[in-house]
Structure 1
């Protein structure tokens, strides 16, 4: 199942992320190597939000990720939330739905 982890980033995120970036990226790449994170990154212009796509059995996995992420624990993330995402189009979709053929 797919889950989206949304981060609402602090106003000083870009100025402060440098000191926590390596630890954050290490955590993210480890989750990717375990097959949990599919793709992740911050939105640009403005850099006020980040989105992480998880492919896992339970929302507990992205919730645990956020709870231990140094961006969260050091206040670079103002708020976060996990939402299940019903993906229907594309080879990686978890619930593929194709149009009726006539």
Structure 2
């Protein structure tokens, strides 16, 4: 079981995202190096700042969200964490 986090960005997200990206990127790196964050990225078409991440546990996803500069500084308008039953595994 994995946990998928989705972010819905605020309408005018780009200036805030650019300002907070270095701290957000450091948090992504921290969780990836710990092995808690497996994948992360923005969703395209339309390019509206929405994103998703795949975490190993719900607790890791919620911990990430609780301290993410994108959440703390208003880049993210809303988020979800949902369990995902992975079918194909290497």
Q: Normalised by the size of structure 2, how large is the TM-score?
A: 0.91
Q: For 2:6, what is the secondary structure of its paired residue? A: strand
> Which 4+ residue blocks in structure 1 deviate beyond 3 angstroms?
none
- Residues 22-101 of structure 1 mapped to structure 2, 5 A cutoff: 22-48=22-48, 49-56=50-57, 59-91=58-90
| Greater Cα radius of gyration, structure 1 or 2 | 1
* Structure 2: unaligned runs, 5 residues or longer: none
Q: For 2:15, what is the secondary structure of its paired residue? A: helix
Deviation at 1:18, TM superposition (A): 1.1
CA contact (8 A) 1:5 1:52 kept: yes
Higher relative contact order (CA 8 A, sep 6+): 2
CA contact (8 A) 2:3 2:55 kept: yes
Deviation at 1:15, TM superposition (A): 2.6
Q: For 2:74, what is the secondary structure of its paired residue? A: coil
* Structure 1: unaligned runs, 5 residues or longer: 92-102
Deviation at 1:47, TM superposition (A): 2.7
Q: Normalised by the size of structure 1, how large is the TM-score?
A: 0.81
Deviation at 1:14, TM superposition (A): 1.8
The structure with the greater share of residues assigned to helix is 2
Q: What is the CA RMSD across the aligned residues, in angstroms?
A: 1.1
Aligned length in residues: 89
